[in-house]
Structure 1
């Protein structure tokens, strides 16, 4: 057995993450499908996503402070319990036949509030559960679980939905409750080092710390701009239909391909963690991400497109694991909540804006040029960032003293 899975605290955390991720992935399928059945409006689907994202954006400063000031384990317990209760509202709406688009929007916003508080606490608690030299393996193992949920969760949710939306919501609620119970029994020693006054400087501490730490700033901004420019996956429906001339089954394969690549790479990194030249490897991985994006844009074959997307997902996973580990190791425990909150906004915004950027450039230049331009832009960002952040390029190990 891997030493990682001999750590009972990590196993509790890991299983809880799987239960929570499955709950959310299944829920996304049910909410999306039912909203479209109720409204027959693509805009309504977009508004559901917006209802979840806005609370996370608006509460960034507050949730980071809460994660640094209060017990992170209890924050995760409370937020997962609130998510279970929110999904219970959707189940009740179907049972009582009072479900409506407005109810779904309300529940989506409540889920967004809960996730806003959960994410920084959930990320910041990790270094308190395992030794720092195991953190890279931990990030890879968690990434593996997440990708499995991304692949299997929607499929399972679709099958359960055949039994009715009520059944799906009850299944999702059960998973959230399981995740809540597992986190409740997690062994975690909570302590706060001093009581700093709550003011704007304190609330903005996460952003200030990121700005002042070149390693964290370079890794976060590199990932952010790479995702912003290389968001080719937003155009998958158009590529599948108009370029590859395939049906929904082909689109499904294309959507699974990046997650498959990420899953395989995360499993590899969990067994063979990166030990040397992590800075150069991260820049190389982002460059490969750009090359894979260009290859996908030029492809007219389903198999070649799937291969490029698998490569894209695998290279992105390398960058994600290195960035996530560096952020955790470089950040003092008393600031991890605020830094994690700021990091979540950077990455979340880049995903949202990346899809918007891809849509705009596709409308201006066409689908293929838009994807290729995004890939070229990603490679250009790698070159610029290597010049701007030489210390990050020269980073040898994930954990280094006094960087």
Structure 2
């Protein structure tokens, strides 16, 4: 009589991690990563196409009744309406990413973003919708992003494992920057024909991204032991995440530097103003300006995925931020479209170096059970730098004019580089990115 077969050993998190690391340092060997990458690219294309169309539509409507300085405030309100829900929801969303299934959270967030695309499309078909309606949908979109960002960032290490993480982050950046290049250029061309077509394109892309995430087999359930939900426990967990970031000076310095620099020197909001009223290159030129920044970032991301930065990470990061500030100054003084495009191209490449190093430092320095909360803090800083930065830039244009706002931001970025290098010596001395 033969012995009964032994029951298979349960697959522990350590075994699952070892299986992912068996793919080596190349994330492309992983089927789920390929699906995640395509889903990420589709979602970014949708978000960037929709965002570029919204910026142009709002500014075009506002300029019919207001001068440049006042119309720029409406562009700032787009960022503010997205930042308020990000501020209110991102930290609780990070705690939920450490408690609930991260993949399901990503899927639900993309569903809501697709709903926003439908609403934008309906409003665009109206012809000239009231600006408050566009801002209201932008606020809903900001709420969806609050849940998407920490869940998707925390899900990536679960898919690829630690060994492939640095190259996976660079590859994810390729997806983001490809969308940042293609989407604004495409949106500029489509908007030149009709704004509703841009929103319809975004809706189709959201559907593609959603399909890819639904086909991923990797479980999104975090390793953290699930406990009964309570508001007190949630705020306590959020507090733990904030304390961890505060005490880990490398992480705190990296994300706060990004906040200050992009807040001061973010030039994305200025592109419709410069394209329409300073460079006089229209909607197509606006798309090309937006694409120039992404083109530089994409090429740098491709290079980093093949030849990642492994030593002197802190020095590389501070150098990249300084170059970003110089490019903002160049963009502000330029009166030639080709020079403005080159400045944005180099700024995109420099920004990609900074982003890659920051994300690698954060992911490698953070244990899995806290990645959702730490990612939410990081995304809150990034959201503040982008969305709140749009509001700040709109206000700065109202006070200083578009040229003065660009110059002030460039000088501010350079000054911040020197201050952060002094205040965060651990970040400046950060060496190995492995």
TM-score (norm 1): 0.85
1:54 to 61, 70, 84: 84
For 1:30 and 1:242, locate their aligned partners in 2 and report how far apart those are by CA, in whole Å. 17
Correspondence 1:263-274 to 2 at 5 A: 263-274=298-309
Partner of 2:139: 109
Partner of 1:73: 103
3-state SS, counterpart of residue 169 of structure 2: helix
User: Is 2:265–2:328's contact at 8 Å kept on the other side of the alignment?
Assistant: yes
Q: CA deviation at 1:311?
A: 1.5
For 2:415 and 2:155, locate their aligned partners in 1 and report how far apart those are by CA, in whole Å. 35
Partner of 1:203: 238
Compared CA separation, residues 346 and 44, structure 1 to 2 (3 A) = same
Q: CA deviation at 1:156?
A: 3.4
Partner of 1:146: 176
Partner of 2:38: 15
Bigger mean CA offset, 248-257 vs 50-59: 248-257
3-state SS, counterpart of residue 432 of structure 2: coil
Matched, 1:182 2:212: yes
1:194 to 225, 234, 256: 225
For 2:288 and 2:90, locate their aligned partners in 1 and report how far apart those are by CA, in whole Å. 35
3-state SS, counterpart of residue 309 of structure 2: coil
For 2:189 and 2:275, locate their aligned partners in 1 and report how far apart those are by CA, in whole Å. 24
3-state SS, counterpart of residue 308 of structure 2: coil
For 2:147 and 2:206, locate their aligned partners in 1 and report how far apart those are by CA, in whole Å. 15
Compared CA separation, residues 254 and 86, structure 1 to 2 (3 A) = closer
3-state SS, counterpart of residue 192 of structure 1: coil
3-state SS, counterpart of residue 164 of structure 2: helix
Deviations 1:47-105 (A, max 9, x none): 454433322221123211111100001111122223334434555678899x8766645
User: Is 2:318–2:428's contact at 8 Å kept on the other side of the alignment?
Assistant: yes
Partner of 1:3: 26
TM-score (norm 2): 0.79
Q: CA deviation at 1:118?
A: 1.2
Matched, 1:341 2:376: yes
Correspondence 1:1-400 to 2 at 5 A: 3-29=26-52, 31=54, 42=71, 47-89=77-119, 104-157=134-187, 168-189=198-219, 190-195=221-226, 198-236=233-271, 239=274, 245-248=279-282, 250-358=285-393, 368=403, 370-399=405-434
User: Is 1:240–1:250's contact at 8 Å kept on the other side of the alignment?
Assistant: yes
Q: CA deviation at 1:176?
A: 1.9
Structure 1 portions without partners, runs of 5+: none
User: Is 2:261–2:416's contact at 8 Å kept on the other side of the alignment?
Assistant: yes
C-alpha root-mean-square deviation of aligned residues, in Å? 3.3
3-state SS, counterpart of residue 163 of structure 2: helix
3-state SS, counterpart of residue 183 of structure 1: helix
Q: CA deviation at 1:341?
A: 1.5
For 1:362 and 1:344, locate their aligned partners in 2 and report how far apart those are by CA, in whole Å. 26
Bigger mean CA offset, 28-37 vs 225-234: 28-37
Bigger mean CA offset, 225-234 vs 212-221: 225-234
Compared CA separation, residues 241 and 177, structure 1 to 2 (3 A) = closer
For 1:283 and 1:260, locate their aligned partners in 2 and report how far apart those are by CA, in whole Å. 21
Q: CA deviation at 1:188?
A: 1.9
Number of equivalent positions: 397
Structure 2 portions without partners, runs of 5+: 1-24, 66-70
User: Is 2:181–2:292's contact at 8 Å kept on the other side of the alignment?
Assistant: no
Q: CA deviation at 1:396?
A: 1.2
